[in-house]
Structure 1
Amino acid sequence: MSPRQPKNDNSRKGSSSIARRSLLERRPSGTRAQKKRFLILCEGETEERYFQGMRTRGGPVLDVINPKVDHVNVVVEAHRRRCLDDYDDGDEVWCVLDTELDRGLADRILAKAGGTIRLALSTPCFDFWLLLHREDRRAPFQTAGDVEKALKRALPGWSKGSTKFADFRDGVDDACRRARAVASEKKDHMRNPSTSVWRLVEAIRGSAGGGR
């Protein structure tokens, strides 16, 4: 018998090159391979617009999604996307949600998140986080609608559909400081009013090389 000839490995080269192309498509040079990635699931348009506006050329990758489902299912969708998408151990998955002054709802959200999904909760609602960019507020609100009215007084012309991060950028440091001060008074996600959105915002800003 003649000695076995080595197989032509063109097929292997072809398949490996396709795999490499696929990997490169998923991890563009200078972005995915080098930058931290945040998956941020929001329950509303206001939150979605705010975090989309935080994207910067030199900052981390922000995947901002509004799945348009109820609070608990936002967390369910976060678990699903974390498992299916190409997220590394150093990446972070967050859900930005309102408690609606409903402790039972907040407890269900916390239980569903477990220790895997990070939560940025606001009581009564995300609009309180926006209000803190403009003023320091400690008095409780009766409803989420009352927060919206207060924000419209602080920022005339604002509406949920017109939210732009640019309108709040100059007040981010103040908002983080004020939110931390509220949180330190009573470590309870149901404190009215309160918000832990500052944790997510500071994580994003810190991942941009310490820039602001």
Structure 2
Amino acid sequence: MPKKTKARKVTDSEKAWNRKSKPTSYRIEEIPINKTILIVCEGQTEEMYFKSFEVLGVRVDAINLGGQSKLKLVEQTELIQQEESRDEVWCVFDMDVRRGEAEFSDFDNAIERAKNLGYQVAYSNDAFELWFYLHFEYTDAENHRTFYYEELGKRLGLNYEKDGKRYDFCKKLYTILETHEQSSQARAIDRARTLFEERSDLPYHQQNPATLVFELVEELNRNLRR
């Protein structure tokens, strides 16, 4: 006579659909770092913007040194580079026209000093925000930064001068410009190149409007994650 057995409920954990499979080993492919780039800025806006580029195979160190003279920023960049050498160095700063002749001299001398050190300079005249504005419109007028603040505020729906420098906004500005239906980075590059070519024979402090940020953007774009 068969031996009696107790009925046993099959729990969900024992059902076929919930049984744990054997651990699978995944091969994690490491992307080698082929290049290192140091970007030294004078503001949070610039720092967060450049950190937003999703590059592959390149290490980008974007550092915000805060407000100081342009020449001092270049000197600090030299010290940073001495501590750890990078393959490519960019200094990013702009010139406030309203500050007058002292600013002109500092701006010109800083660019020359950086170039003599072998650095690239993504300078803007009058403001870094000219680069953002060129995503929407072309201008060859000698505007001051307040113009760009007002125009960007209209297009982005905020008080740019008050809120455009805040950390949370700076962190998402790259994405905003990439997704805004009226914004185009490609057109900004073309417009910025046109402005520079028209003014490149002038002293740096007289190149208003001009921005060489497009050159740095092109460099980062060559290494974007696709």
Q: TM-score, normalised by structure 2?
A: 0.70
The answer for the alignment partner of 2:215 in structure 1 is 199
**C-alpha spacing 1:154/1:105, structure 2 compared with 1 (3 Å):** farther
The answer for the alignment partner of 1:135 in structure 2 is 137
The answer for the alignment partner of 2:100 in structure 1 is none
Q: How does 1:32-181 map to 2 (within 5 A)?
A: 33-56=32-55, 58=56, 60-70=58-68, 71-87=70-86, 91-101=87-97, 102-113=103-114, 114-141=116-143, 143-157=144-158, 158=160, 159-161=164-166, 162-163=169-170, 164-169=173-178, 171-181=184-194
Contact 1:78 1:117 (C-alpha < 8 Å) held by counterparts: no
Contact 2:33 2:59 (C-alpha < 8 Å) held by counterparts: no
Q: In terms of Rg, which structure is larger? A: 2
**C-alpha spacing 1:156/1:59, structure 2 compared with 1 (3 Å):** farther
**C-alpha spacing 1:111/1:144, structure 2 compared with 1 (3 Å):** same
Contact 1:42 1:48 (C-alpha < 8 Å) held by counterparts: yes
Instruction: State the identity %.
Output: 27
**C-alpha spacing 1:77/1:52, structure 2 compared with 1 (3 Å):** same
RMSD over aligned Cα atoms: 2.1
Deviation at 1:69, TM superposition (A): 4.5
- SS class of match (1:168): helix
Deviation at 1:147, TM superposition (A): 2.1
Deviation at 1:86, TM superposition (A): 4.0
The answer for the alignment partner of 1:15 in structure 2 is none
Which 5+ residue runs of structure 1 have no aligned equivalent? 1-28
- SS class of match (2:34): coil
How many residues end up aligned between the 2 structures? Answer: 176
Moved over 6 A (4+): none
